[in-house]
Amino acid sequence: MEFIYITLVLLVLLAIFDLIVGVSNDAVNFLNSAIGSKVASIKTILIIASVGMLVGVTLSSGMMEIARKGIFNPENFYLTEVMTIFVPVMLADILLLDLFNTFGLPTSTTVSMVFELLGASVAISLIKLYKAGSNFLLLGQYINTAKVLGIISGILLSVVIAFSAGLCIQFISRMIFTFDYKKQLKRYGALWGAIAFTIISYFIILKGVKGASFLTSQQEIWIYNSLDIITGTIFLVSLVLLLLLQWLFHLNILKTIVLAGTFALALSFAANDLVNFIGVPLAGLSSFNYASNSGNPLSTTMEALRQPVKANTLILLLFGLIMALTLFLSRKARTVTKTEVSLGRQDEGLERFEPSYLARILVRIGVSIMEAIQTIIPQRVLDSIRKRKDISHFTGCNDEGKPVSFDLIRASVNLVVASALISLGTSLKLPLSTTYVTFMVAMGTSLSDGAWDRESAVYRVSGVITVIGGWFLTALIAFSIACLYAVILYHSKILGLLLISLLSIYLLYKNHIKHQERIKGENTIEVYNLKKITNPVLAIKTSFEQTGKLLEEASNSIQRSFDGLRLYDRIELKIARNDSRIIQDWTNIIIANIFKTLRLLHKMDLHISLRYSQLISNLQECADSQRDIALRSYLHVENHHKGLLNVQITELEHLVKSIRDLLGFTSQSLKQDKIADLTLVETNCHNIARLIAKYDKRQMQRVQNGTSKTRLSILFYAYLVNIQKIAISTKNLLQIFNESLYINETSLNVSKDR
């Protein structure tokens, strides 16, 4: 029994940790629309979502059965065996969800829990069959395979139905309201709001009544039988109230819809998904209580788990409080939310995902289909559609002037369509996933709104493919980890429990470090991004300051790459390679800022040539060259090629010092916003060119006499070529900066503004 007591304590602790990682992942389901549209302050949004979760947990009691009898048949297992299933399930769930949180990928907590239960129960069932000498084909007596197939079909249904519905409803909504929706909102806002509130209310009732711990069965039946009357009343009351509020107080109906939808989805999450985090521990406690009351605890089968159970409302509220606190404190919840918001962002900018081969194919097919459709539709209709979807009316800011990822029309459609689909799936008993529905609806509305244009489509599609691929990986990883842990625990008991616990703690620690690194890089990039440019002079000044900081980082990257190569230090080179990638991202953001500034200068009709095209090309040249140095150095050591010759180290050391001096001088000039002495820069560039010419001849002699092998020669020349490019580009950057500063001070009188 000692093993049972230890597992019971561990299950309670794991329930709390699972709540934390689970909320961090599922928060995206109900925060995406509100945060993306900045309907209110982040604090207000989180408070409304927290209240929704606290209400939702009281409605979750009836959902606890999936962990007790949904996947395996409990009458075929003893107490020790179900505990050997439950502990691996909880450990695997925490590891899996934390892994997805670390990389900012939303996944289904229901799918993870189901396949973890499946993996652990299959492992224990096969061991039981093997020890009994029975045929493995009898596995079906232990496992509920129909439930598993239903979950898999739910993945496919959610993807197709939700994406299509979001695409179509958003298209219709945009045709009605357009991007300049305030005028149309006065006409149709109350009707749209009444429809939205009716759908959201129906969703709350349908999802809430099923598991409410405070409702009797007679009350539940009455509510279900009166749904038509209830929803009809809600529609009429909402319509009248919204008309009055809009007329008397100029109520922003869209904000009300988004906040109500956020509350509803938070409620649904708590009501349905709480079972994924505490259902297994509660099932473990039920198993222990039932076995303890029997004559022989270790020899009693667990058929009692088939009996219905309702959890204590106070206990549910306690867990709800933990979920609410996690919502406010979890940094990983914001990471996951940021992924979905960035994939649906209306404006172009830095993309979180690199394009994949499959994404390119899908975009190519999509473009071909759209071109074919446009040849069929009359030109007059196409012109009308383009007029209604004129994106120039999208300001990119809310009423308070804060930048938003998309407007309130799309945010309200996201929430209403998701609520409607989940309600429909529930009423028809379809196995739709909340996560899959909300994510794919958001992606469908994004496509419909033109957020995935030719400039960003391949990156956004690649991101969606990554997320969807992660959903299928969820099932595979969940099954595998739980299965492995169950086998270890079954054979090693307490020793195995210690082993898998320590392994899990180590993996969680590694995930934490990885997430910290990702956050650091993203925060740095976020600082560089000028969200909204209104003052071109200030934007020019800021861009040059950012360029100065960028050159400083590029200089450090070159030094680190050379030091790692000189010392044959793989870890140092790996850091340099990662830093060079971040520098490349910074460069792209600065270039995007420059393009924004150019557009604004054009709008203001300032006929001032700042040679921005040369600035962009030279900036990109510096970033590409430093990254090439870092990557080539890393691959040379990673592939175990021979290290540099002593003479090559000495020569490259002189070159690296010279280019760092040049970059340092240029960086300080840009950051201090002072006209630089180009004579000194030209002298440095001349010295670098002279050194490169001299070292080029020496290296050619080494190639001819065979002292420098092919791989080493390629690497050495890569350093020479890239340093030469950086020197030329840096000099050009400083020349453009001097010209820009001179023009600003004389023509725009910037000095007075400062």
| Domains along the chain with CATH numbers | 2-515 (no CATH), 529-753 (1.20.58.220)
Reply yes or no on whether the pLDDT at 127 is more than 80: yes
CA distance 253 to 242: 7
The residue whose two tokens read 């050194």 is 691
User: Higher model confidence: residue 85 or residue 303?
Assistant: 85
C-alpha count within 13 angstroms, C-beta hemisphere, residue 260: 23
Lowest-confidence region among 127-131, 219-223, 741-745: 741-745
C-alpha count within 13 angstroms, C-beta hemisphere, residue 360: 4
Lowest-confidence region among 62-66, 117-121, 730-734: 62-66
**Crossing angle for the helix pair 434-448 and 2-37, nearest 10 degrees?**
20
Reply yes or no on whether the pLDDT at 607 is more than 50: no
CA distance 24 to 660: 43
Categorize the per-residue pLDDT at 742 as very low, low, confident or very high, splitting at 50, 70 and 90: low
For 408, the token pair is 């309130």
The residue whose two tokens read 């109900």 is 30
Reply yes or no on whether the pLDDT at 272 is more than 90: no
CA distances from 713 to 567, 708, 720 (A): 18, 6, 11
Given its phi and psi angles, is residue 354 left (phi above 0), alpha (psi -120 to 50 degrees) or beta?
Answer: beta
Reply yes or no on whether the pLDDT at 578 is more than 70: yes
CA distance 45 to 323: 15
For residue 54, which of 427, 327, 334 has the smallest C-alpha distance? 327
Reply yes or no on whether the pLDDT at 259 is more than 80: yes
Reply yes or no on whether the pLDDT at 36 is more than 50: yes
Lowest-confidence region among 6-20, 159-173, 658-672, 730-744: 730-744
Categorize the per-residue pLDDT at 354 as very low, low, confident or very high, splitting at 50, 70 and 90: confident
Alpha helices in 145-252 (DSSP H): 145-177, 182-209, 217-225, 227-249
Q: Which residues is 301 bridged to in the sheet? A: 78
Residue partners of 425: CB distance under 8 A and separation at least 6: 157, 431, 432, 437
Reply yes or no on whether the pLDDT at 439 is more than 60: yes
φ, ψ for residue 153, nearest 5 deg: -65, -30
The pLDDT, as a whole number, for residue 462 is 93
Residue partners of 348: CB distance under 8 A and separation at least 6: 453, 455, 456, 592
Reply yes or no on whether the pLDDT at 372 is more than 50: yes
CA distance 506 to 515: 14
Reply yes or no on whether the pLDDT at 754 is more than 60: no
Categorize the per-residue pLDDT at 628 as very low, low, confident or very high, splitting at 50, 70 and 90: very high
φ, ψ for residue 199, nearest 5 deg: -65, -45
φ, ψ for residue 397, nearest 5 deg: -135, 155
CA distance 496 to 459: 44
| DSSP-derived secondary structure for 683-749 | HHHHHHHHHHHHHHHHHHHHHHHTSS-HHHHHHHHHHHHHHHHHHHHHHHHHHHHHHHHHHHHHHS-
Categorize the per-residue pLDDT at 63 as very low, low, confident or very high, splitting at 50, 70 and 90: very low
The pLDDT, as a whole number, for residue 753 is 44
CA distance 159 to 161: 6
For residue 344, which of 415, 434, 448 has the smallest C-alpha distance? 448
Cα distance from N-terminal residue to C-terminal residue, the chain: 76
pTM of the model: 0.80
φ, ψ for residue 594, nearest 5 deg: -65, -40
Reply yes or no on whether the pLDDT at 151 is more than 70: no
Instruction: Give percent of the chain above pLDDT 70.
Output: 87
For the stretch 601-610, contacts whose Cβ atoms lie closer than 8 Å and that sit 24 or more positions apart, written own/partner, are: 601/536, 604/536, 606/536, 606/748, 608/743, 608/747, 608/748, 610/540, 610/736, 610/739, 610/740, 610/743
The pLDDT, as a whole number, for residue 743 is 53
Q: What is the chain's mean pLDDT, rounded?
A: 84
User: Tens of pLDDT along 194-233?
Assistant: 999 999 888 878 766 665 656 677 877 888 888 889 989 9
CA distance 715 to 422: 58
Reply yes or no on whether the pLDDT at 655 is more than 70: yes
The pLDDT, as a whole number, for residue 527 is 55
**Crossing angle for the helix pair 408-427 and 145-177, nearest 10 degrees?**
150
Residue partners of 261: CB distance under 8 A and separation at least 6: 33, 196, 200, 412, 414, 415, 416, 418, 419
Mean pLDDT for the stretch of residues 406-418 = 93
User: Higher model confidence: residue 600 or residue 697?
Assistant: 697
The pLDDT, as a whole number, for residue 35 is 93
Mean pLDDT for the stretch of residues 75-92 = 90
